Amino acid sequence: MPTEPPTSLATAAPVAPATTTASTPTTPPPTPSSILPLDALFSNPVFAGGIGLASLGAAAAFGRRALISGTALLRRQMLVNVEISKRDPSYPWVLQWLAQPRDNTGFLASRLTRLRNLALSTTTKSINAPGAGEGPTHADFRVQPGYGRHIIRHKPGVYIAVNREKASTTSTGTGEPHETLTLTLLWPHRHVLGEVFTEAHALAHRFNEGKTVVYCARRMEWAPLGKPRLKRKLGSVILDEGVKENIVGDVKEFLAAQQWYTDRGVPYRRGYLLYGPPGTGKTSFIQALAGDLDYSVALINLSEVGITDDLLAQLLTQLPEKSLLLLEDVDAAFQNRRQRDADGYTGPTVTFSGLLNALDGLAAGEDRIAFMTTNHIDRLDPALIRPGRVDMMVRIGEATRYQAAEMWKRYYGDIDEDGTGCQRFLTRLEELGLFGQTEDPDVPARHTSTAAIQGLFQFNKGDMEGAIKMAEGLIPRTFEPEVQTGAVKSPA
């Protein structure tokens, strides 16, 4: 029986390709339903263009980010930044150092170091000899980098980028805006930073040489009170015989004994109380002592309104370096204790306990030399006068014969060579009973102050006869309660 031909070639024919396809084992063909819309999508020029643009954008963004992080990395690797806050003591030193005139000649230096934003700092000094009174002044103008970015040439090949910025935040204490100074150098030049700070410090030191900086409380911080003043010589303050030497000796001994205190774990603090009538040289002596020790003075007047317990405590914990703390009118704190309101509020002033705590409470600073002054020793509480708070109490009293003679020598020593003028002056003061003793029953025993003697001598510059003639003016004046006559404005 003949084999039956395939029923239909036509039906077999389409199978053949299917068999061949099956013979090459590849992934199953995508279903037409999944291929067709994507195809259509990509063949859509708008879509394809969009994708192209998006990928270009992504690539650009990636490139940019890579560039930024690359630059940042490079900056980190290649540059070194130092940020100095305005609160740091080195801030004014570095600014002053930046104000130094520099040699900016040369192609690169003259183009790179053009300062466009400048600030002027002016220093003035008297042309006359110190103490010669008001006279012409010499002004020194210096240009320093203002806010913004600058480049300065420190030395050939070494450039420093400076960024002086004023922050939008303000210091809680002073209400002044925060400020920072950032110095940027190439990494290989980083050793120059040490040089910069040493030079800046030395420059500041030179600037203050022969001067005493007085700090006072401005809001919650210490701030220099005016320009540094010329050092007052210790010899220009005339205290009674041996008094000055006694205090100076004690302070110097204390300064030399720091290790002793550290070894024993005792706070390195010493307190002095100078008391006595007004105009006897208490403040002048402390200022001169600071000058002699090359210290500054950190001054707080306790009778000032606005000095509160908190402020006092805070200021005492952050005393400027190498400074003598001077608390004037300490009796004010005791006064305030008595004058408490019914609700216990004393007003914005220091209280007794506030002063004691600031001096040696837990919050008290460690290293400190404190000088306290008062005209009213009788108002103080014994709690203040105990070791740790006050270690040495000295009365700086009315002018003695010794002081009057010493002051005379300072003012007229050169014209009164044989000292007879001095003798006559002292005799005159004795006649007036000004040394607290009198032989004449009609003349009361009284006292005068060294400030009054200074006033007399300054009035009679170079004229000792005039000083002797006017010695009567040293008699302390008493002011009677005024009887009001004439035009007095009073409420209706």
Ligand X SMILES: Nc1ncnc2c1ncn2[C@@H]1O[C@H](COP(=O)(O)OP(=O)(O)OP(=O)(O)O)[C@@H](O)[C@H]1O
Q: Minimum Å distance from CB 407 to Mg ion?
A: 18
Q: Measure the CA–CA gap between 145 and 150, rounded to whole angstroms.
A: 7
Q: Which amino acid is at 27?
A: T
Number of other residues whose CB lies within 10 A of the CB of residue 188 = 10
- Asked whether the beta carbons of 94 and 204 are under 8 A apart, the reply is no
Closest by CA to 42, choosing from 52, 57, 56, 33, is 52
Q: Minimum Å distance from CB 442 to ligand X?
A: 29
Q: Which is nearer to ligand X, 331 or 360 (CB)?
A: 331
* Partner in contact with 279, chosen from ligand X, Mg ion, none, beta carbon below 5 to 8 Å by kind: ligand X
Element (H, E) at 179: strand 177-186
Q: Which stretch, 151-159, 254-262, 273-281, 317-325, contacts ligand X (CB under 6 A)? A: 273-281
Q: Minimum Å distance from CB 286 to Mg ion?
A: 8
Helix (H, G, I), strand (E, B) or coil at 364: coil
| Binds ligand X (CB under 6 A): choice among 86, 154, 231, 282 | 282
* Partner in contact with 468, chosen from Mg ion, ligand X, none, beta carbon below 5 to 8 Å by kind: none
Helices (H), 214-330: 243-256, 258-264, 282-293, 309-317
Q: Which stretch, 15-23, 113-121, 217-225, 274-282, contacts Mg ion (CB under 5 A)? A: 274-282
Cα torsion angle, 304, 305, 308, 311, sign: negative
Window 358 to 377, contacts with ligand X (CB under 6 A): 375
* Partner in contact with 284, chosen from ligand X, Mg ion, none, beta carbon below 5 to 8 Å by kind: ligand X
User: Does position 281 bind ligand X by CB under 6 A?
Assistant: yes
Q: Minimum Å distance from CB 373 to Mg ion?
A: 5
Closest by CA to 298, choosing from 330, 328, 320, 274, is 320
- Asked whether the beta carbons of 193 and 97 are under 8 A apart, the reply is no
Q: Minimum Å distance from CB 332 to Mg ion?
A: 13
Q: Minimum Å distance from CB 280 to Mg ion?
A: 9
Q: Which stretch, 59-67, 281-289, 344-352, 423-431, contacts ligand X (CB under 6 A)? A: 281-289
**DSSP letter, residue 134:** S
| Binds ligand X (CB under 6 A): choice among 144, 280, 323, 351 | 280
Q: Which is nearer to ligand X, 284 or 335 (CB)?
A: 284
Closest by CA to 164, choosing from 112, 208, 98, 257, is 98
Q: Which is nearer to ligand X, 144 or 283 (CB)?
A: 283
Q: Which stretch, 81-89, 277-285, 289-297, 382-390, contacts ligand X (CB under 6 A)? A: 277-285
Closest by CA to 322, choosing from 289, 353, 344, is 289
Backbone angles phi, psi at 241, to 5 degrees: -50, 125
- Asked whether the beta carbons of 374 and 384 are under 8 A apart, the reply is no
Residue in the shown chain whose Cβ atom is closest to ligand X: 281
Crossing angle of helices 192-207 and 90-98, rounded to 10°: 100
Q: Minimum Å distance from CB 435 to Mg ion?
A: 23
Window 279 to 308, contacts with Mg ion (CB under 5 A): 282-283
Q: Site for ligand X (CB under 6 A): how many residues?
A: 14
User: Does position 230 bind ligand X by CB under 6 A?
Assistant: no
Crossing angle of helices 309-317 and 352-360, rounded to 10°: 10
Crossing angle of helices 32-43 and 45-78, rounded to 10°: 70
* Partner in contact with 448, chosen from ligand X, Mg ion, none, beta carbon below 5 to 8 Å by kind: none
User: Does position 327 bind ligand X by CB under 6 A?
Assistant: no
Window 446 to 465, contacts with ligand X (CB under 6 A): 450-451, 454
| Binds ligand X (CB under 6 A): choice among 144, 212, 284, 448 | 284
Q: Minimum Å distance from CB 328 to Mg ion?
A: 6
Backbone angles phi, psi at 401, to 5 degrees: -60, -45
User: In whole angstroms, what separates CA 481 from the centre of its chain?
Assistant: 45
Q: Which is nearer to ligand X, 145 or 271 (CB)?
A: 271
> Which residues of this protein are in contact with Mg ion, per CB under 5 A?
282-283
- Which residues sit at the interface with ligand X, rule CB under 6 A? 237-239, 278-284, 375, 450-451, 454
